[in-house]
Amino acid sequence: MAEAFALDLANHIIEAEKKHLSYTIAFSGGSTPQLFFSVLAEKYGKSVNWNHVQIFSVDERCVPPDDSGSNYGMMNRLLVKKISIPDTNIHRIRGEEDPESEAVRYSEEIVRNTRSLNDLPVFDQIILGMGEDGHTASIFPGHKYLLIGEKICDVAVHPVSGQKRITITGKVINNADSITFIITGRSKARIIEQIFKNNAKFPASFIIPRHGKITWLLDENAGRFLKR
Ligand code: 6PG
């Protein structure tokens, strides 16, 4: 699955280069993307021209980049350090800063480096994971303000740990040209079943592209309750 998506993403980057277009990607954190980052760097770190690619984070824990929980720290270790890409193309959420002011600053950085549509930033690709509670990005159950709010980025709070996070909001995610969920493991299977059967509403249920396309990449375990 990681290899298939890495190939797909590489092809989109190559297509954008042919059209002399920049390609803006926002990656989620957590554990699922780790294999994908490694495969992407190993297979396409050298064969793809990354100079026109702008890399963002979907969300970040409010910790320094060298903290083991930092999404950027993980992405930098497994992908960014292994590809040839200008530092100015890497748009890091500064988890070490004051959350409220960093959410504003990052929103402005996103606006400066993306196209606009519907008065909102447009990402070419947003890659999402999903937690066992159905959260995505750092949009947790019960935090509806992150789905309906007008902000580009906002401050979230993890419902169990109380950890503060900064996240791109649902409206901006849904404004992307392409949204891809990458979800693996048996622990997500029941939530996936409920989302696809429309039995219950989780934050991930509200990720519905306004004009773009959405792809759910599920491994056998995560998709085990879905009919082929
Ligand atoms: C984060 C992610 C988050 C993640 C899900 C799934 O900061 O943790 O952005 O939304 O995608 O929690 O995490 P796993 O891939 O670890 O299951």
Q: Which among 25, 113, 124, 116 is positioned nearest to 75, based on CA atoms? A: 25
Local confidence band at 4 (pLDDT 50, 70, 90 cut-offs): very high
**pLDDT average, residue stretch 114-132:** 98
| Entry pTM | 0.97
Kindly indicate the confidence band of residue 109, based on its pLDDT and cuts at 50, 70 and 90: very high
Q: What angle do CA 150, 26, 74 make, to 5 degrees?
A: 125
Question: Is 71 close to ligand 1, i.e. is its CB under 6 Å away?
Answer: yes
- Strand 53-57 versus strand 153-157 pairing type: unpaired
pLDDT in the model for residue 5 = 95
Residue 31: CB within 6 Å of ligand 1? Answer: yes
Across the range 63-83, mean pLDDT stands at: 98
**Measured from the CB, is residue 102 less than 6 Å from ligand 1?**
no
- 110 — pLDDT class (breaks 50, 70, 90): very high
* Res 199: pLDDT: 84
Rounded percentage of the chain residues whose pLDDT exceeds 90: 98
| Assigned CATH for 35-42+53-218 | 3.40.50.1360
Find out whether the beta carbon of 114 lies less than 6 Å from any atom of ligand 1: no
Instruction: Indicate the pLDDT class of residue 137, thresholds 50, 70 and 90.
Output: very high
pLDDT at residue 228 is higher than 90: no
pLDDT of residue 200: 84
Any atom of ligand 1 within 6 Å of the Cβ of 59: yes
Please give the number of the atom of ligand 1 that sits closest to the Cα of 71.
7
Distance 135 CA to ligand 1 centre (A): 8
